Amino acid sequence: MTQTRDWQDKVAIVTGGSSGIGKATAQELAAHGAHVLITGRNADRLVQVTATQPEIRSLQADSADADSGKQIVEAALGHWGRIDLVVNNSGAGQPQPMEGYDAGIITKMAAVNITAPSQLVAAARAALKDSKGAIVNISTAVTRNAVPMLAHYAATKAALEHLTKSWAIELAGDGIRVNAIAPGPVKSGALTGMMGLPDEMAQQIEAQEAAQIPLGRRGVTTDIVPWILRLGGADNEWLTGQVLTIDGGWALRT
Ligand SMILES: NC(=O)c1ccc[n+]([C@@H]2O[C@H](COP(=O)([O-])OP(=O)(O)OC[C@H]3O[C@@H](n4cnc5c(N)ncnc54)[C@H](OP(=O)(O)O)[C@@H]3O)[C@@H](O)[C@H]2O)c1
């Protein structure tokens, strides 16, 4: 996809930028000339990314912490004085059978998938208004269907999709566009990291998912990242409140 936006000296925040979709997004933005602030909990993994591109800086921050949004915005403004794009990418989700429902796990999913993007957007609003910037929320294609065992992951991401629509209206007067991307199964650290699955089970699930995808393979980050830049760029002047499913047709299956 052609990138028509000039990202030179623009500023982006990518939460969860030390692995997978977030890392690839940060690296692509930086390759186009943007300054990027990435966040994550593990400091070593953040350094591995910032070491590769001087345009990328990091803030060790857990999205589950209530103050993280304010701290992230302060760090970005402190470094570069503006914010053009916020990518709410960090996510929480793990399989839970109903007999093992754990209030702490459910609360954490809500904190990372709903509360953290809300507080980051609120904190970044004034800067995004100044830049006529954009917000891209990362949801998941599992919101499209019932998902036993992943119900709270899907429900909290569905909430993020709803917030996307509401924020699109609330922020339209400020010239800020708000959209979301709902990826299908993408090769990343999510199954063994976020979902906490053992390697062998992760491999089984990857094979099952690949067999279910009409276009015949699991996704890779390069299937997703160009759409984040396209929705997040200044050349997207008239698209807001939309959720774009990018999943090889996975969610269309019956
Ligand atoms: N991969 C898929 O198949 C897929 C499909 C649909 C949607 N998604 C969504 O895409 C997003 C990115 O996932 P991914 O697949 O790229 O996962 P990933 O490779 O596991 O990367 C997750 C990133 O988020 C960070 N992170 C996780 N929890 C965090 C927290 N509480 N606070 C701050 N940072 C946190 C991780 O770093 P630390 O662990 O060091 O904090 C890491 O940088 C998520 O929102 C996920 O729900 C993924």
pLDDT digits (tens, 9 = 90+) for 15-43: 999 999 999 999 999 999 999 999 999 99
**Is 89 in contact with 16 (CB distance < 8 Å)?**
yes
Mean pLDDT of the residues in the chain = 96
Q: Give the model confidence (pLDDT) of 52-71 as tens digits.
A: 899 999 999 999 999 999 99
Q: Give the model confidence (pLDDT) of 204-227 as tens digits.
A: 999 999 999 999 999 999 999 999
* Å from CA of 189 to ligand 1 middle: 7
- The whole-number pLDDT of residue 254 equals 58
Q: Are strands 11-14 and 35-40 parallel, antiparallel or unpaired?
A: parallel
Residue with tokens 């047709």: 249
Residues 74 and 124: their CA atoms lie apart, in Å, by: 9
CA 151, 99, 62, 48 torsion: positive or negative? negative
- DSSP-derived secondary structure for 58-87: EEE--TTSTTHHHHHHHHHHHHHS---EEE
- The whole-number pLDDT of residue 250 equals 97
* Å from CA of 173 to ligand 1 middle: 31
Minimum CA distance residue for ligand 1 atom 44 = 91
Q: Shortest CA distance to 15 belongs to which of 245, 222, 194?
A: 194
Q: Is the CB of 90 under 6 A from ligand 1?
A: yes
Backbone angles phi, psi at 3, to 5 degrees: -95, 110
175: left (phi over 0), alpha (psi -120 to 50) or beta: left
- The whole-number pLDDT of residue 2 equals 45
Residue ranges of domains in the chain: 11-245
Q: Is the CB of 154 under 6 A from ligand 1?
A: no
* Å from CA of 89 to ligand 1 middle: 7
Give residue 145's Cα distance to chain centre.
20
Q: Are strands 134-138 and 56-60 parallel, antiparallel or unpaired?
A: unpaired
Pocket test for ligand 1, best of 58, 188, 206, 208 (most atoms within 8 A of CB): 188
Q: Is the CB of 248 under 6 A from ligand 1?
A: no
Pocket test for ligand 1, best of 13, 18, 21, 48 (most atoms within 8 A of CB): 21
* Å from CA of 50 to ligand 1 middle: 17
Q: Catalytic pick from 7, 80, 153, 250? A: 153
Q: Give the model confidence (pLDDT) of 180-206 as tens digits.
A: 999 999 999 899 989 999 999 999 999
Q: Give the residues across from 3 on adjacent strands.
A: none
Active-site residue, 153 included: yes
For the sheet containing 85-88, what is the strand order? 56-60, 35-40, 11-14, 85-88, 134-138, 177-183, 243-246
Q: Is the CB of 63 under 6 A from ligand 1?
A: yes
Q: Is the CB of 20 under 6 A from ligand 1?
A: yes
Widest Cα–Cα separation across the chain = 51
Work out the average pLDDT over 119-128.
98
Pocket test for ligand 1, best of 25, 90, 136, 160 (most atoms within 8 A of CB): 90
- The whole-number pLDDT of residue 53 equals 95
pTM: 0.97
Work out the average pLDDT over 174-178.
98
Q: Give the model confidence (pLDDT) of 86-119 as tens digits.
A: 999 999 999 999 999 999 999 999 999 999 999 9
* Å from CA of 238 to ligand 1 middle: 28
Pick the CATH number of 11-245 from 3.40.50.720, 3.40.50.300, 3.40.190.10, 3.90.850.10: 3.40.50.720
